[in-house]
Amino acid sequence: MKLNNYQMVFCTTPDMETAQKISEHLIEKNLAACCNILPVVESVYKWKGKIEKDQECLLLIKSTQENYQKIENAIIHDHPYEVPEVIATQIIAGSASYLDWIQKSVKGENGTITG
């Protein structure tokens, strides 16, 4: 098991319906082992010269680095934003059994861990 192979992808969505749609698509296609949806985050950002404040949902997507480009493509395809947030960070530590479950999940093997 190569530890630096694992990653968490972050993506904000305008609503729960979009978050669920993206999550289900990623899980169905074995691109992610798990997607957590944080239902309300407050986002403050500048868009087209104006400061914006929105309530959004935040997706925490657990997967492997080799799936990143497919995840990004799937999000961009299903996302209503002109410029959706799709950023990834390497998982630098984790329990061996959980990381193994991520690997098996993205390879299409069934797992039973949640989280």
Instruction: Label residue 108 by pLDDT band (50, 70, 90).
Output: confident
> What's the rounded Cα separation, in Å, for the pair 85 and 103?
24
CA atoms of 58 and 40, how far apart (whole Å):
7
- What pLDDT is attached to residue 62? 98
Average the pLDDT over 2-8 and give the result.
Answer: 81
Give, in words, the CATH class of 3-106: alpha beta
pLDDT, one tens digit per residue, over 23-51 is 999 999 999 999 999 999 999 999 999 99
Q: 50-83 pLDDT, tens per residue?
A: 999 999 999 999 999 999 999 999 999 999 999 9
Place of tokens 């944080």: 38
Give yes or no for a contact between 91 and 98, defined as CB atoms under 8 angstroms apart. no
The pTM (predicted TM-score) of the whole model is: 0.90
Domain boundaries, the chain: 3-106
Q: Does the pLDDT of residue 2 top 70, yes or no?
A: no
Q: Which residue has tokens 């093997």?
A: 109
pLDDT of residue 39: 96
- For 16, how many CA atoms within 13 A lie in the half-sphere containing its CB? 3
Instruction: Indicate the pLDDT class of residue 111, thresholds 50, 70 and 90.
Output: low
